[in-house]
Amino acid sequence: MSIELSQFFQVFFEESFEGLDVMESGLMSLDPANVDNEMINSIFRAAHSIKGGSATFGFASVAEFTHVLETLLDEVRAETRGMSTDMVDLFLQSVDCLRELLEGLQAEVPVDGARADGLRQKFEAILDIPADAVVSETVEVEPVAIGWQIKLVGGEDILRTGNEPIRMFTQLGELGELTITTDFSRLPAFNALTLESCYLSWQLTLMADNVKRADVDEVFEWVVDECEITIEPIMDESVPVAAEQVEAPEATEAVEEDVPDADSIGLAAPQTQKKAEPGSIRVDIDKIDTLINMVGELVITQSMLGQIGADLSSDNVSKLQEGLQDLERNVQVLHESVMQVRMLPISFTFNRFPRMVRDLSRQLNKKIDLVVKGEQTELDKTVMEKIGDPLVHLLRNCLDHGIETPAERVKAGKPETGVISLNAFHQGGNIIIQINDDGAGLPKEKILAKARKNGIIGPDVVLSDEQINDLIFQPGFSTAEVVSDVSGRGVGMDVVRRNVQELGGHVSVKSAEGVGSTFSISLPLTLAILDGQLVRVGNQVYIFPLVSIVESLSVDKKQVSTVAGACDLLRLREEYIPIIPLHDAFGIEPDSRNLEKSLIVVVESENTKVGLVVDELQAQQQVVIKSLETNYQSVEGISGATILGDGTVSLILDIGGIVTIGQNTTHMQIKAA
């Protein structure tokens, strides 16, 4: 009987990626001067498992590369060879290379083996293995590439991920002479256009001597899974040279680049980030046991209710009520148990950051320690997957802008080594993630001057410290004097805020000059369930996220002021709050247009409070969120929908979107309170 091995591929890939995480974590904590034998054994076992599995499934490229890696690790653990910082760096590069090879195999796409070959040669040099003992190949002779012909078919979601093509074109232009031809053939009719979608393709011709294929690949490495990319060499057949093996650059975080005029190549601004979700999840066996027990309880309750239903009479009404109470209790426990299945420790996201901090601190010539707390704090799998990129942006800014160089820190009376703390904890129904650094803090005067120069605020506007700090989240805002590969291009912080808002959370910053900064992200524990307040407007029932509500009140006309050319303002405890009638925003006929006969729900979004006029407050309840975009299309001001107990569909309001609708409807300018 033959066995189809492909059915086990997914398990192999999952276990291999977990093994790579173990290797990277172990290498990061390894002290070359005092090698921990148990740690080396752990790294060796992970590499050995990957080699064995890849050999079993016929993944020769992975097995051959891991073999030489394992050989060197075996010598280190046998104490016949010492460890050095350079070897640790080489092992970490090998982890990156293995991850790249495995991802290619998993996606069933070819991967350039030049990087693996280059690293393998370095290992063989350390092991003193002759190159011809492992591989003997005839070196081919091929013409010189004098340029590259590139076809880029933009993926529909490329702008949502923040990977704007014009930044890639700028990077290509730095390599040589670039010619761009835009193909508009995929553009739909005007009424079918979606602002966040990309419909364009480009034909690029890069004329440049001595530009290797790896240099071109590096430009597109962050969109290779989202776009169709074809790269062909333009050859000068009159000058043949020996083919060379090119070591691909080490994988790094996405680099934000200067962008040329978007109108010249027909591009819209980048939108939010969206990634494909993995198809599986590891679940603790205790959680599965709880689910099985609860299903058993439900079967018993269903059997009891079925028996009562078959002989329904006035005598067993009390038993029916008891059965319904049992059913309600069991469903509630089952619901909580199912939600627990999706909860994973946030360490799955945090584990990627020590390596990033290590590499970037070396690149920036800074000494930085990363302190991680709360790794076991649990968060919904979907939320955790989507919060990774915003955290990367914030950490990179702390590394580049926050922490000073060792000389600057000593001059300021600080230790040479800066400290960045990453912490996660539960607070109420939310999870709070904080990134704190003991660096220079935000330069408030510089931020204020730049905001006035860019026209973000007027020349005479007076802002509080909190409002000044909030300016860094404005699109295109940056105070960096020198543009670097890490940050300072004015793109990113607004994307961070937008991505966090899409998850139903908010981000804020507190800072003291010379002391440091703290970025705080507040997120719901899950995107599947929402604590909501039902409100009625006319004949429609909407749901407000309970976390966004500040208070609800009846209005005395004396509290309301009308501003010419703007909206009404509600005076509430020395604070003026814009009033947005929801019936105007959604085009619904209300019970009354008299404010004194209506209710106002004061909500808050990103330090902006507004009062939403409704006809009636109804119950508070947990609701199951259904994606409107998946089942219909994205609608401004609406974050999702749910089905109420009576079977009707109710829309869940996006408070940030409602504020935008109110601004467009009333032509008002809402300032942070």
Same domain, yes or no, for 303 and 365? Answer: no
Question: Which residue has tokens 């018993």?
Answer: 300
Same domain, yes or no, for 334 and 349? Answer: no
Task: Decide if 606 is catalytic.
Answer: no
CA–CA distances in Å: residue 535 to residues 581, 586, 624, 637, 648: 13, 14, 17, 15, 14
Cβ burial 573-597 (10 Å sphere, 16+ → b, else e) = eeeebbbbbbbbbbeeebeeeebee
Task: Decide if 48 is catalytic.
Answer: yes
Same domain, yes or no, for 230 and 312? Answer: no
Domain closes at, from 524, 549, 566: 524
Q: What is the pLDDT of residue 503?
A: 81
The answer to whether position 248 is within a domain reads no
The answer to whether position 249 is within a domain reads no
Same domain, yes or no, for 377 and 479? Answer: yes
- Rounded CA gap, 579 and 466, in Å? 23
Same domain, yes or no, for 513 and 604? Answer: no
The 3-class secondary structure across 186-229, one letter per residue, is: CCCCHHHCCCCCCCCEEEEEEECCCCCHHHHHHHCCCCCCCCEE
User: Judging by DSSP bridges, how do beta strands 560-562 and 549-554 pair with one another?
Assistant: unpaired
Catalytic residue among 14, 18, 48, 142: 48
Q: Which amino acid is at 523?
A: L
Q: What is the pLDDT of residue 408?
A: 92
Q: Which helix (H) or strand (E) holds 409?
A: helix 406-411
The answer to whether position 672 is within a domain reads no
Domain closes at, from 67, 100, 134: 134
For residue 589, the domain's CATH number is 2.40.50.180
- Rounded CA gap, 89 and 303, in Å? 63
The answer to whether position 267 is within a domain reads no
Domain closes at, from 225, 242, 259: 242
pLDDT, tens digit (0-9, with 9 covering 90-100), for 598-627: 899 998 876 678 889 999 999 888 787 877
Question: Domain count of the chain?
Answer: 5
Q: What is the pLDDT of residue 377?
A: 87
Same domain, yes or no, for 420 and 289? Answer: no
Same domain, yes or no, for 545 and 657? Answer: yes
Same domain, yes or no, for 545 and 632? Answer: yes
Q: What is the pLDDT of residue 535?
A: 92
The answer to whether position 540 is within a domain reads yes
pLDDT, tens digit (0-9, with 9 covering 90-100), for 486-539: 554 444 688 888 888 878 788 889 998 889 999 999 888 777 777 889 999 998
What residues in the chain have per-residue pLDDT under 50? 1-3, 131-142, 238-278, 482-483, 488-491, 665-673
Same domain, yes or no, for 488 and 424? Answer: yes
Q: What is the pLDDT of residue 135?
A: 38
For all residues of the chain together, what is the average pLDDT? Answer: 78
pLDDT, tens digit (0-9, with 9 covering 90-100), for 162-192: 677 888 888 888 888 889 898 888 888 877 7
Catalytic residue among 124, 164, 256, 397: 397
Task: Decide if 79 is catalytic.
Answer: no
Catalytic residue among 24, 64, 70, 226: 70
For residue 42, the domain's CATH number is 1.20.120.160
Instruction: Please check whether residue 43 is in contact with residue 27, taking contact to mean a CB–CB distance below 8 angstroms.
Output: yes
Same domain, yes or no, for 493 and 535? Answer: no
Q: Which amino acid is at 231?
A: I
Residue 511, judged by CB atoms within 10 A of its CB (0-12, 13-18, 19+), counts as buried
Which residue range(s) make up the domain with 567? 529-666
Instruction: Please check whether residue 269 is in contact with residue 262, taking contact to mean a CB–CB distance below 8 angstroms.
Output: yes
